[in-house]
Amino acid sequence: MIVNITPRTTNVELELKIAQEMEKRGAHHIYRFRIRGMRDPDVEFDVENLLSKYRIAELIDESEPQYDFSALFAEHPSDMIGFYIRALDKPDPSPVEKKALYYGINALLRTTDERS
């Protein structure tokens, strides 16, 4: 089953959506879920908690962080983050290029936060 999320979706709201879907279809079944949509870059869904709490065999998080690349580039025009955005932010990226952009920016921003 697909669970659609938005950048405002929290862990609690995600759990409520999943619990409601399971209740609607029968709590005695075993489920497989895919989380799709854009999420707040600062939110990490607690997949392990959901797997241990409910009858879920598989829970795949396919959500993507909703970064504002133009604002990030304006903030980091001449450092590694800016160079990375310039190199990979294209109008029609392939799925691999899109993942590389999101994962790379996530790693660079976390590294920047750790140095602060």
pLDDT digits (tens, 9 = 90+) for 27-62: 899 999 999 999 999 899 999 999 999 999 999 999
112 pLDDT more than 80: no
Q: Could you tell me if 3 and 36 are in contact, meaning their C-beta atoms sit under 8 angstroms apart? A: yes
Instruction: Look at residue 66 in the predicted model and tell me its pLDDT.
Output: 92
- Alpha helix positions (H), the chain: 11-25, 47-53, 69-75, 80-88, 95-115
Q: For the residues 17-27, what does the mean pLDDT come to? A: 93
0.85 exceeded by pTM: no
Instruction: Look at residue 95 in the predicted model and tell me its pLDDT.
Output: 87
